[in-house]
Amino acid sequence: MTTFHELLGTDDRCSKAEIKKKYRQLSVKLHPDKGGSQALMQMLSMAYQQVSKGNGNKKCSDIMIVNDNDREEGRQQVADLNKKISLLIKERNQLQALIERYQQQASDAYNAGENQAQQTLVLLQTTNKRLNEQLLLLRRQIEENEINPSSSNKRLKKQFAVMIFSVLIIVVIFLGWFIWHYQSQHIQLQPLDLRPTPVTVQVKNVIATQATTTENIDVISSADKIMMTDTVGLWQQRYYEGTRQPYIAVRSLNGSYIVKDCQGTFSYYSNRSHNMARVPANLIFSANDRQFSVYRIPYGNGSSDQQWLNSQSLSINNNIFSNNGYKSSSLALAAVCNNTVPF
């Protein structure tokens, strides 16, 4: 006969919390609204009470109280309950088998990944073995050449030339990558002039451009000095020192600024005391202003109104700049630049 432990799916080692959890799970499943019956709920409630009292190992039929006048009907009820108990035990076993199958599938998936890693390791070991065999073959050829130089000299020269050529190709590719990477991280001057001109003309143009740039730097340094503030993370309206040229700016924690002028141009005033060794490629060096290195932002991150309006903050050269107050300050700047109202 079935015991109350078997009916409830518990044993003597289960705590009261685990017994209660099992009871709640079966109650939800055997509730009349879920396809169960009132008789099953009564039987489940009796099993929970008996297990809670420590009578879990007793048989269900031993606890049932049957009246003498209705003994046959009671036996029939007990038989029906035992059948339902058997069905529940069968369903529990099916659920346990399903859990074990899923666990096995998870274990198989893990083993499959481990097998793939093992196959990769075997492939690497095979490749290493083949390379070692080639190395041994070359050593043997060298030894044969020492014994009989005339027979293998040409062959060794050819192999040596191939090896040298391969090494040169690798070196050239590495140098090309290094130069490209360095230029992409350090370009701060004007864009390259791609027009086909003679070499001598290019040199002259570069010298002229450098001279012009030096003159422009002096002008910018003396005319576009921003007003410094202690307020961090708030866009404010200002005038350049010594002029009535308006602009708006926001300050970062380390004292760097993002500035927008009447032309809609964004500039990055980098505090040199916290300046990074490298700057992004979209920051174009313009001038030096006191403790600042000034960069224009013609494209990329921080170069458009839409970026500042759609973001709570932007990270430029490892500085965090908030958009707090940007919309109202930008509208005020537009009004001042159109000579409608002052700040």
> Which pLDDT score is estimated for 207?
33
- Mean residue pLDDT of the chain comes to 79
Quick one: 94 and 36 in the same domain?
A: yes
The reply to whether 207 falls in a domain is no
Per-residue pLDDT at 279 exceeds 60: yes
The reply to whether 213 falls in a domain is no
> Which pLDDT score is estimated for 260?
95
- pLDDT band at 302, cuts 50/70/90? very high
pLDDT, tens digit, for every residue of 124-145?
888 888 888 888 888 887 777 6
Q: What percent of the chain has pLDDT over 90?
A: 22
> Which pLDDT score is estimated for 152?
58
Q: Which of 183-187, 188-192, 276-280 has the highest mean pLDDT?
A: 276-280
Average pLDDT over residues 36-50: 85
Q: Residue 186, SS3?
A: helix
The reply to whether 34 falls in a domain is yes
Considering only residues 307 and 116, tell me which one the structure prediction assigns the higher pLDDT.
307
Count of domains for the chain: 3
Q: Which of 235, 229, 228 is nearest to 324 (CA)?
A: 235
Q: Which of 342, 343, 297 is nearest to 317 (CA)?
A: 297
Q: Which of 276, 239, 238 is nearest to 254 (CA)?
A: 276
- Its pTM stands at 0.37
Quick one: 234 and 333 in the same domain?
A: yes
Average pLDDT over residues 153-161: 78
Q: Which of 291, 234, 309, 223 is nearest to 261 (CA)?
A: 223
Q: Residue 230, SS3?
A: coil
Q: Which two tokens stand for residue 197?
A: 């001109």
Per-residue pLDDT at 56 exceeds 70: yes
* Number of helical H runs and strand E runs in the chain: 9, 8
Domain holding 58, by residue range, is 4-109
The reply to whether 126 falls in a domain is no
The reply to whether 127 falls in a domain is no
Quick one: 102 and 145 in the same domain?
A: no
> Which pLDDT score is estimated for 269?
92
Q: Write the CB contacts of 29 (distance below 8 Å, at least 6 apart in sequence).
A: 36
The reply to whether 176 falls in a domain is yes
